[in-house]
Amino acid sequence: MSRPQLTRPGLNWDVRITDTTLRDGSHAMAHRFTEDQVRDTVRALDAAGVEVIEVAHGDGIGGSSFTYGFSRTDEMTLIAAAAEEAKRAKIAVLLVPGIGTADDLRRAHDAGATMVRVATHCTEADVSPQHFAVARELGMETAGFLMMSHRTTPEELARQARIMVDAGCQCPYVTDSAGALLMHEARARFEALVAEVGSDDTAEAWVGYHGHQNMSLGIANSVIAYESGVRCIDGSLCALGAGSGNSPTEVLGAVFDRMGISTGVDVLGLLTAAEEVVRPYLQRWPKMDRNAIVQGWAGVYSSFLLHAERAADRYKVPAHEILARCGERGLVGGQEDMIIDVALELAAERTAS
């Protein structure tokens, strides 16, 4: 099968920062974003020079459901509002095959999204080609999330990235969904993907990194990513995201600026966006508490946090024990319904003892 002829998105800077406040942050907000919050955040990020702003339900377009949590405002309304406010930035959406559909992607494109990030488990990239094909038909820029990247070897992760690139992905991502990757583990994965697709002007694709702060390594791993040839890096204002949150966009901007690495963003503008726009509407500030640290330590999908805390309250078992058991069982994104089973099992064990 011949590879699709693609034009990679041009980088105007050394590192292209994508802000995920309005998508990954949806987890921490229990998917309760309002249209005004989206508009205000997009205006602030756009003014600060952020090139890509992701907007969607935390589990991607189509994620508003009983299993993952219902959105307060229809996500297509939020995407359209974001597209209306963005003067320079691209509006991106996340699509998880099996949650979002090709029709959802077409609706998101009609609402104003010009980029899609197709997310699969790190060993299941073979479910993504049809979605990349639809995105290409629509003329959208494409990226691919290899979620829970700690759960496979660097070599296998590179093979999975190859599947995505051959299907039309312009930027495969090392996605540390659990915030579990230690620095040497992250470097090995970055180097494997860069070796597979390249990093210079003749490369087939860019390589990206999406980090979480459960082990407090999102920023450090972002620096290692750049040193390894990664050129697209994610963050969220105030770290707003699942688990203990994402690498804070405002800190990424400041750190790269101190290093003399161009991102094209205004650091003071990011700090203003974080402090004056996002912080006032935070329902909870993502933090490295016991539950979130257990997620990174045990390698548990970051979006399990609120689900586990609700189950803990309902069945009177500690959330960190639920999360640790989820890690022992190797649960992955899309298995949120199993959290209830784990909580019931722990409750039964406590009753029996």
**Residue 45: how many CA atoms within 13 Å on its side-chain side?**
32
Output the pLDDT for position 2: 39
**Nearest one of 212, 230, 193 to 15, comparing CA atoms:** 230
Q: What is the pLDDT of residues 281-292, one digit of tens each?
A: 998 888 889 999
CA diameter of the chain = 63
Q: How many CB atoms lie within 10 A of CB 5?
A: 6
Per domain, the residue ranges of the chain are: 16-281, 290-352
Note the pLDDT of residue 7: 59
301 appears as a binding residue in the annotation: yes
pLDDT in tens, 21-55: 999 999 999 999 999 999 999 999 999 999 999 99
CA geometry: angle at 263 spanning 42 and 85, to 5°? 15
* Dist CA 11 CA 163 (whole Å): 23
Specify the fold of 16-281. TIM Barrel (3.20.20)
Full-model pTM: 0.92
Catalytic residue among 27, 109, 121, 131: 27
Task: Judge whether 307 is annotated as a binding position.
Answer: no
Ranges of the chain with pLDDT below 70: 1-10, 199-202
CATH of the domain spanning 290-352: 1.10.8.60
Is residue 177 annotated as involved in ligand binding?
yes
> CA nearest 161: which of 136, 183, 192?
192
First to last CA, the chain: 59
| Contact status, residue 239 vs residue 204, Cβ threshold 8 Å | no
Parallel/antiparallel/unpaired status of strands 52-55 and 172-175: unpaired
SS (HEC) of 137-206? HHCCEEEEEEECHHHCCHHHHHHHHHHHHHHCCCCEEEECCCCCCCHHHHHHHHHHHHHHHCCCCCCCCC
* Rg of the chain, C-alpha, whole Å: 19
Q: How is 232-257 classified by DSSP, letter by letter?
A: EEEEBGGG-SSTT-BPBHHHHHHHHH
Ligand-binding annotation for 23, yes or no, is yes
Task: Tell me if 210 is assigned to a ligand binding site.
Answer: yes
Cβ-contact 145, 115 below 8 angstroms: no
pLDDT value of residue 148:
95
Does the annotation count 121 as an active-site position?
Answer: no
Q: Which residues pair with 235 in a beta bridge?
A: 19
> Do residues 241 and 212 lie in contact, with contact meaning Cβ atoms separated by under 8 Å?
yes
